Amino acid sequence: MSGGLFQELRVLFTFLSEKEKNEIQSLCREHGGIVMSAITPNDPPHVVVTRRVGSPKYCSVLKRHPMTPVVSPEWIRTSVSEGRKVPYSQYAVGPCYGLKICLSGFFSEDKAKLADLVQESGGTHSASLTKHCTHLVSTSTSSEKYVFAQKHGIACASAQWLTESIRGGWCRDSALYPVQDVSEKSHEEEARLHDRKRTREGAKPSAPAEQQIISNEEGVSVGKENSMTAWDDLNHSDDNTDFLGHCGVWAVGCPLEESMTVLRLCRLSGAKRFTSPHPTLITHIIRGSRLNQIESKEVVQYLEKHEDVPVVTIDWLDRSVSRQEEMPVDE
């Protein structure tokens, strides 16, 4: 048909069941969309529709065009139902969307933080490794879990795969991040080499090896007492799109779907996202739809000391991204 809701819109469909793929592709074609069966460098898709991130086609597109919107099939259905192209942000999916990830070989504190990141990024953390898991993130190639994963075709990767995917906002190819064996001995040797370098530079020796369990973006080990700083940085945008780079948003009372929307919008705008109140860097508080009494009290206490910080909804962030500028706060 000529014209239509999705006129000339190039759409790539991946990781859908045959039944759903046929249904969604038919809707797309009926309303003027172009269903892509192959990826070409000169004509990349305008949007990727998927039930799970990480397919070869997905990785190929996002590697070359990392700002390409990635949405769930509900975006097509809702757009057709409402007779308009709804904003991508309403159905944007995170870098772990549809993945079931098991973590192995990490200190309990770090494992909990990684598990939270998986959940916030649209994935599911599995405490045990089963045939239904899509990925094993491990520190050892000799563990029983690693052997099990290899036997059953479960993708294995290092923690770097997970953190870089979350930082960048899209799922990297896990095959490019093979598991590297990490032993106590290697930790100690790394610490000694690091101490020698720091001593030559006139700095204090680093913490004991058992405390050096997280790496920051420069590859320098940091102790447990500083680990939250390293992990909080994963929520900050690394993109060049930074029209909200001066903004720090504290998202509170947001269920998973809303958290993923905030994460996606922050990545698109350069805004810094916080999951807890920062004493000086918060410029806006984003109130989610499930604000409980404890969270409400925390917000009130924060506003008593920071009266100039406005409380907004996700709609403010969505409008700012749509206009590519900071929108005024509705009174």
Question: Model confidence at 330, in pLDDT bands (50, 70, 90)?
Answer: low
Give the burial class of 185: count Cβ atoms within 10 A of its Cβ; 0-12 exposed, 13-18 middle, 19 or more buried: exposed
Residue 76: both structure tokens together:
């097509």
Question: Model confidence at 207, in pLDDT bands (50, 70, 90)?
Answer: very low
Confidence (pLDDT) at 241? 60
Q: How far apart are CA 265 and CA 246, in angstroms?
A: 14
Q: How far apart are CA 331 and CA 316, in angstroms?
A: 12
- 231 CB neighbour count, 10 Å cutoff: 20
Confidence (pLDDT) at 104? 94
Residue 170 in contact with residue 129, Cβ under 8 Å?
Answer: no
Domain assignments of the chain as residue spans, ordered by start: 10-91, 100-176, 184-226, 236-323
236-323 CATH: 3.40.50.10190
Residue 164 in contact with residue 172, Cβ under 8 Å?
Answer: yes
pTM above 0.85, yes or no: no
Pick the range with the lowest mean pLDDT from 57-66, 186-195, 202-211, 300-309. Answer: 202-211
Which pLDDT tens digit goes with each residue over 26-55?
A: 999 999 999 998 787 788 999 999 999 999
Confidence (pLDDT) at 299? 94
Q: Terminal CA-to-CA distance of the chain, rounded, Å?
A: 44
Dihedral, 17, 19, 25, 31 alpha carbons, nearest 10: -140
Confidence (pLDDT) at 277? 84
Max distance between CA atoms of the chain, in angstroms, equals 71
Confidence (pLDDT) at 15? 94
CA dist 48 → 37, 209, 226 (Å): 12, 43, 38
Confidence (pLDDT) at 265? 87
Q: Which fold has domain 100-176?
A: Rossmann fold (3.40.50)
Q: What is the DSSP letter of 276?
A: S
Considering the chain, what percentage of its residues have pLDDT values greater than 90? 58
Confidence (pLDDT) at 262? 85
Which pLDDT tens digit goes with each residue over 287-320?
A: 999 888 888 999 999 999 999 999 999 999 999 9
User: Please, what sign has the CA dihedral across residues 117, 121, 125, 129?
Assistant: negative
Does 236-323 match 10-91 at the fold level? yes
Residue 190 in contact with residue 196, Cβ under 8 Å?
Answer: no
CA dist 74 → 120, 121, 124 (Å): 20, 18, 20
Q: How far is CA 264 from the centre of its chain?
A: 7
10-91 CATH: 3.40.50.10190
